Amino acid sequence: MPDPGTPPVFPPSSVVLVSGASRGLGLAMVEGLLAEGVKVAAFARTVTPELEALAEKHPDVVHVDSVDITDQVACKAFVKAVEAHLGVIDGLVNNAAIGQDSLHVHTSPERIEQIIETNLTAPLILTRLVLRRLLAKGKRGRLVNVTSICGRRGYPGLVAYSATKGGMDAATRSLAREFSGRVLANAVAPGFFASEMSAVLGQTELDQILRRTPSGRLTTAEEVFPVVRMLLLETTNINGQSLVIDGAGSI
């Protein structure tokens, strides 16, 4: 019998679900996790040729499908299919999100609702689904929420988006408390990095961000992955944190 007074040790995640893995950071994380020998489940609304190629190359350790994170029925079916194919998910990376590029007064109520549903409500429901199934199997797990410096700093044109990222940061802290001893829950909060989402930034905005960034350059998706890797695979006591990766641009 383990001593009930012994602090829990969290095993590295062996089956990780990455949402929003068709491109950008999500795809980079799938590739990185596979290189670490982790089994990876990945979805997005579109299964891109890049994601499809990974599934074809590693059929025993990769499970991909087209799923809209706001479709609860589809998410549940996906999670069950992953369990049958790869085993119980013991690592979840909430990465799927949509961006914004409009002043608040010019953003339609429908768009505001869509941003909140995609970036906040749906990831919380997916987290509930995955953690319930994990805990029911008596296992420990790890959660990484991909948030943003927009959750802590203001940016024009990103009001609803920022609200969702700040919301996920706050949820991370409460999840760490609530699942104490069972789930290590953390967030990574990147600064702007090149992707389809950030392609809306103009040169003036990029120059301004660069001027404000002591390290003198923007973050890359490849620089976010090692932090996610650590939170999923290393033995650490980091819990309930939101780790900013932005070259100190937001301090």
Instruction: Based on the shown chain and the rule CB under 6 A, indicate whether residue 196 belongs to the binding site for ligand NAP.
Output: yes
Token representation of residue 43: 């979805």
Q: How far is the CB of 239 from ligand NAP (least distance, A)?
A: 21
Q: Which CB, 30 or 176, lies closer to ligand NAP?
A: 30
Q: Does 166 bind ligand NAP (CB under 6 A)?
A: no
Catalytic residue among 161, 192, 193, 225: 161
Q: Is 63 helix (H, G, I), strand (E, B) or coil?
A: strand
Residue 194 burial (CB count, 10 A): 14
3-state DSSP call for residue 191? coil
For residue 102, give both structure tokens: 């409009």
Report if residue 215 touches ligand NAP, rule: CB under 6 A.
Answer: no
Terminal C-alpha separation, the chain? 47
Q: Which residue is nearest to ligand NAP (CB)?
A: 24
Token pair for 61:
């350790």
Nearer to ligand NAP, 20 or 91 (CB): 20
For 113, residues 6+ apart whose C-beta sits below 8 A from its C-beta are none
By CB under 6 A, residue 74 contacts ligand NAP = no
Q: Is 155 noted as a catalytic residue in this protein?
A: no
Binding site for ligand NAP (CB under 6 A): 19-26, 44-46, 68-70, 95-98, 118, 146, 148, 190, 192-193, 195-198
